[in-house]
Amino acid sequence: MTSHEADPPPDSRGTRVLVVIGIVLLAFNLRPAAVSVGPVLIEISQDLQLTGVQSGLLTSLPVLAFACFGALTPQLGHAIGPHRLTLIALVAAAAGLFGRSLVGNTWVFLGLSLLGLSGMAVANVLMPSLVKRHFPNRIGLMTAVYSTTLAVGLTAASVLTVPIAANFGGWRWGLGAWAALAAIAIAPWIGLIAHDRPDAAESEARIRLSAIARTRLGWTMALFFGMQSFQAYVVFGWFPNLYRAAGFSAADAGLLLGLITGISIPLSFIVPAVAGRLTNQLPLLITLVACYVFGYLGLLFAPSQAAVWWALLVGIGTSTFPMILVLIGLRARTAAGTSALSGFTQSVGYLIAATGPFLIGLLHDLTDGWTVPLVVLLVLLVPLFWAGAMVSRPDAIEDHLTTADRGI
């Protein structure tokens, strides 16, 4: 290990407690900016008179923000410091969420939405490197903590946005409420910015995304992340329609989707904790992908029978997401390596995932049914499994980089 990669001094007990609080609050806020729009999209579109193009842009902003701003995060973190950048990201998220709940101009609303989402995109990439920096020997446990909190935040925003809007005066309250939680999350990070020492940028090696892009590990991680997100976006976006086509009511379709997302809450804790203890995560991968396979086969051949079981199996399959989160931390030895690997994996992965809802929706329209889309989802489990198997083997991104790649 070079001097550039020396481990930072151990945190004090007080610092560790503050970091845990900061990570939990940050994780809770990683999804509401993106998912709170969907439940009240019709009301937003009517009030702001959004065109079809503008509505489509609004729903695409999360993926665009996660891909574009995620790619910039490692460089910004090196220049500013990861704790300062986290604080800036939360301020941007709170300002964007609050501001868009007040404005009446369509393009200002979209711009403020992008501001809020950019903050969450940056924080999303920073999270694995923050865990690596402060808890290098507890990556599985801490990833379990924040991925579980993330799942709770996602579920809360999906379920509570409409009731808040209905009880407090409209969609603006439904969106603005999440700004308050983002503002609360700022507090612990104010206390942590001192950990970005003035010489931090000079004492830690910088790893560019272009260096990660020259490695096989980087691309297989990005493919695994992209394919698991592809599957998840399709499930969350299209399965209510699939259930309606199978004869379920709108309420029952919502409950089945809720079952899929609900099972992710306990599994978001269990999967990273298990993955962190395994030297090779292949057995875990096989289990999760097998659940996807049986869930999809059940929907193909008996969609209205044992629907609860198919939903549970598909929900277990989507737990490849917390698995890839813990792998980002496990496949790097340093915080700088984790940050760069996280930035490349997520920015490229989200671009891959963005094609999912569009492709599956197009196949549904062309075939006027869900058989072909489900078959395609089954086939696409092959590259997901291949990439997951490749990155499940012990490895470290630093072993694939040259000395020049790790220069400041």
Q: Specify whether 71 is located in the same domain as 146.
A: yes
Tell which wins on pLDDT, 44 or 312: 312
Residue 3's pLDDT band, with cuts at 50, 70 and 90, is very low
Query: Residue 297 burial by CB count (10 A; 0-12/13-18/19+): exposed, middle or buried?
Result: middle
User: Is 60 inside any structural domain?
Assistant: yes
DSSP line for 282-326? HHHHHHHHHHHHHHHHHHHH-TTSSHHHHHHHHHHHTTHHHHHHH
Q: What percent of the chain has pLDDT over 90?
A: 42
Tell which wins on pLDDT, 282 or 256: 282
User: Is 6 inside any structural domain?
Assistant: no
Q: What is the mean pLDDT of residues 248-264?
A: 82
Domain extent for 301 = 209-406
Tell which wins on pLDDT, 350 or 59: 350
Residue 2's pLDDT band, with cuts at 50, 70 and 90, is very low
Q: What is the CATH classification number for the domain harbouring 343?
A: 1.20.1250.20
Residue 9's pLDDT band, with cuts at 50, 70 and 90, is low
Q: Identify the pLDDT of residue 6.
A: 45
Q: What is the pLDDT of residues 205-238, one digit of tens each?
A: 678 888 899 999 999 999 999 999 999 888 887 8
State the helix-helix crossing angle for 52-80 and 106-134, rounded to 10 degrees.
40
Those residues whose C-beta lies under 8 Å from the C-beta of residue 359, and which sit 6 or more positions away, are: 376
Q: Specify whether 139 is located in the same domain as 277.
A: no
Q: Specify whether 143 is located in the same domain as 232.
A: no
How many folded domains does the chain comprise?
2
What distance in Å separates the CA atoms of residue 161 and residue 177, rounded to the nearest whole number?
8
Q: What is the pLDDT of residues 61-88, one digit of tens each?
A: 887 888 888 888 888 888 888 899 999 9
Structural contact between residues 44 and 50, judged by C-beta atoms closer than 8 angstroms: yes
Q: Identify the pLDDT of residue 151.
A: 86
Q: Which two tokens stand for residue 28?
A: 């809770």
Q: Identify the pLDDT of residue 109.
A: 93
Q: Identify the pLDDT of residue 219.
A: 96
Average pLDDT, the chain: 86
pTM of the model: 0.80
